[in-house]
């Protein structure tokens, strides 16, 4: 959720990880070339910065093993995507999508989890009533249409 909520602007690219961060126009390498990523050792994935990877195409040397046809196609797609990413001399910036000024707050992170949910009309009145809890719970279930029907015939 964090990676989906952060927009990264590539600056000097020293603080970004080549294989893990969404630096390719907001995409991860795993989204562009998942078969290629499978051929990179986990230790290299955690260490290779974007700046080091782009220097003399060092990222290509991280790939070990035989490439399948799908991996070759994805390698070419990744190679083309890496070339078009502009790198300037400034600092890498991380912008939080859920606030206007782009700074992270715990409040905005909490609200992010409920983005797109709807409220239940009448639920506030049910929970603020002075009725016993079991009646409030039953009223809340009935508002949601989740009450179980009990048969009237107990003769069986």
Q: Is 49 helix (H, G, I), strand (E, B) or coil?
A: strand
Pick 138 or 14 by higher pLDDT.
138
Answer for the pair 54, 87: CB distance below 8 angstroms, yes or no. yes
Other Cβ atoms closer than 10 A to 32: 19
Distance separating alpha carbons of residues 47 and 23, to the nearest angstrom: 15
pLDDT surpasses 60 at 156: no
pLDDT tens digits, one per residue of 64-80: 999 999 999 999 999 99
Q: Which residue shows structure tokens 């093993």? A: 65
Prediction pTM value = 0.62
pLDDT band at 84 (very low <50, low <70, confident <90, very high): confident
Structure tokens at 150: 């009990």
Distance (Å, rounded) from C-alpha 36 to C-alpha 34?
5
Model confidence pLDDT, tens digit, residues 11-35: 877 788 899 888 888 888 999 999 9
The whole-angstrom separation of Cα 151 and Cα 24 is 60
């Amino acid at each position: 959720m964090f990676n989906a909520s952060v927009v990264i602007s590539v600056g000097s690219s020293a603080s970004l990880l080549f294989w893990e961060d969404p630096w390719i126009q907001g995409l991860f390498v795993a989204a562009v070339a998942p078969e290629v990523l499978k051929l990179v050792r986990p230790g290299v994935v955690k260490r290779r910065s974007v700046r080091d990877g782009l220097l003399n195409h060092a990222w290509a040397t991280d790939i070990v093993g035989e490439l399948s046809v799908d991996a070759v196609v994805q390698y070419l797609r990744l190679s083309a995507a890496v070339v078009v990413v502009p790198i300037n001399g400034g600092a890498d910036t991380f912008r939080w999508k859920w606030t206007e000024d782009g700074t992270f707050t715990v409040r905005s992170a909490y609200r992010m989890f409920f983005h797109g949910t709807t409220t239940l009309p009448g639920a506030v009145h049910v929970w603020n009533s002075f009725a016993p809890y079991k009646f409030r719970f039953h009223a809340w279930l009935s508002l949601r249409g989740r009450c179980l029907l009990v048969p009237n015939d107990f003769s069986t």
